[in-house]
Amino acid sequence: MAGSAYRLTFTASVYYYCSTVTIARGLRVDPSEAAPLWSQIEDGVRRLVASGGLTAGAAVPSVRDLARDLRVNPATVSKAYQHLTDAGVLEVRRGDGTYVSTTAPSLSRGERSRALREAALRYASVAATFGASRDESLDDLRAAWNELMRGKKGGPA
């Protein structure tokens, strides 16, 4: 064991019970990524808002709750929330909590394209690691897309 290198990666998925509906937030952080954790949280929330996963006016978890669930320092979540508030994505209602802004900006075409390319590169890397062909990977991506769309329409996912 001496001289062996181990790499530990932590990824968390966050789920919240809100207004009698369990909403999968799809927010993930990975300490092994080059991007700081607060930036990963900020990007994740922006993508959830842009994709409709978080709708205008929806409550977001408190700093403490999200920090606990992601197992990060509350200051990390606070920094992400502050950036999102400054950008107009979130709004703070004093004494009530933090919400997605009712006038939340969506990702620009360039930002959306960049985010999709980054996600596609991660997916392609995983598929290649598993030895999947391009066609097989595209078929699986289409199937996942269809499953997601069925779930959004309230049908079985």
CA-closest candidate to residue 102, choices 40, 26, 25, 49? 49
User: Could you give the CA distance from residue 77 to residue 60 in angstroms, rounded to a whole number?
Assistant: 12
pLDDT for 98 equals 94
Under the banding of pLDDT at 50, 70 and 90, the label for residue 105 is low
pLDDT for 53 equals 79
pLDDT for 104 equals 54
Tokens of 156: 């079985």
pLDDT for 21 equals 25
Q: Calculate mean pLDDT across residues 33-60.
A: 87
Q: Which residue has the higher pLDDT, 118 or 157?
A: 118
CATH fold for the domain made of 15-100: Arc Repressor Mutant, subunit A (1.10.10)
Specify the pTM.
0.56
The residue ranges of every structural domain in the chain are 15-100, 109-152
pLDDT tens digits along 126-145: 899 999 999 999 999 999 88
CA 113 to chain centre: 16
Quote the percentage of the chain above a pLDDT of 90: 36
